[in-house]
Amino acid sequence: MTRPVVGVIGNTLLVENRYAVQMVGERNLRAVTDVAGALPLMFGAMPDVTEIGALLDVVDGVLLTGARANVHPTRFGLEADLRYEPYDDARDTLALELAQVCVARGIPVFGICRGLQEMNVAFGGSLHPEIRELPGRMNHRMPRLDNGEIHPDPAIVFADRHDVHLTRGGAFARLLGRETIRVNSLHGQGILDPGDRVVIEGVAEDGTIEAIRIADAPGFALGVQWHAEYDPQINPINRALFEAFGAALLMRRRAIKT
């Protein structure tokens, strides 16, 4: 049997401030290949060139990656604010519908960082544009130097920074074999109100929602707020997540074949 195929969503980026490109971080591609055992297939976050039905006829699952851009506030009933740019309206349009269709059709979908946020909004939830502004919350953004620049060492940027407490007996606790894990943290936006079918399964020390599943989904439908794609080759927590995603992809492919 050939390897399953994972559609990995792109992000809009302007090169030299003028050339629009679709970008996917290589760590996402390597995580899919090395740990999930699948072939990554990049697709543009452009609803005018990416038809969801045709895409899902080709892939066995979808990875909704992290991204620099925030989900646009109008997607959950708020006004846009210049302080929380950039936004990526095209990705919003595609990803929100894609998350719903994947769940409805039992196609494995794994949301990471922005991907978790997209899954929440797709099912009617809301986000806070800067989670650290809420009372009692920590700064979940990536570490910076005193001059404000992002720290140049990826090992520091992606280091585990806080605990996540998992729901006892929940999908994540069963999958990971424990109820407390430690994760990295590189986000500003975060879940405020969970969507109707969004089940909270992991919460940070400060109350920030870090792990979700979609209730009654016929297939794999999990999301994490941390960047699980960074080191699943060596990190047992992130490895278990991508392995479970890979197993779901194989199950989906075999079901289609039969």
Report the alpha-carbon distance of residue 76 to residue 87 in Å, rounded.
Answer: 14
How do the domains of the chain map onto residue ranges?
Answer: 5-257
Report the alpha-carbon distance of residue 70 to residue 92 in Å, rounded.
Answer: 9
**Maximum CA extent, the chain:** 58
What token pair was written down for 257? 């074949």
Long-range contact list for 103-106, CB < 8 A, 24+ apart? Answer: 103/197, 103/214, 103/217, 103/218, 103/219, 103/221, 105/56, 105/218, 105/219, 106/217, 106/218, 106/219, 106/252
Question: Which phi-psi region, left, alpha or beta, contains residue 101 (left: φ > 0; alpha: ψ -120 to 50)?
Answer: alpha
DSSP 147: T
Domain spanning 5-257: CATH 3.40.50.880: yes
Contact 55, 63 (CB under 8 A): no
Report the alpha-carbon distance of residue 33 to residue 217 in Å, rounded.
Answer: 25
Active site residue 187: no
pTM: 0.94
Helix (H, G, I), strand (E, B) or coil at 254: helix
Contact 156, 149 (CB under 8 A): no
Residue 153 pLDDT? 74
* Alpha-carbon distance values, 191 to 35, 111, 119, 195 (Å): 28, 13, 10, 9
Cis peptide leading into residue 86 (ω within 30°): yes
* Alpha-carbon distance values, 159 to 65, 94, 103, 142, 151 (Å): 19, 31, 32, 10, 12
Render 178-217 in DSSP notation, one character per residue: -SEEEE----S-EEEE--TTEEEEEEETTS-EEEEEETT-
> Containing H/E element for 95?
helix 89-105
Active site residue 113: yes
Residue 142 pLDDT? 74
What is the separation of C-alpha 108 from the centre of its chain, rounded to a whole number of angstroms? 13
Residue 1 pLDDT? 53
Active site residue 128: no
Residue 65 pLDDT? 97
* Alpha-carbon distance values, 50 to 9, 47, 95, 249 (Å): 10, 5, 11, 21
* Alpha-carbon distance values, 46 to 9, 25, 55, 92 (Å): 10, 17, 12, 9
> 72, 113, 128, 140: which is the annotated catalytic residue?
113
Q: State the amino acid at position 66 in one-letter form.
A: G
Mean pLDDT by 10 residues, the chain (258 residues): 91 88 95 98 95 96 94 90 87 97 97 97 93 80 76 78 95 97 90 96 95 97 97 97 97 82
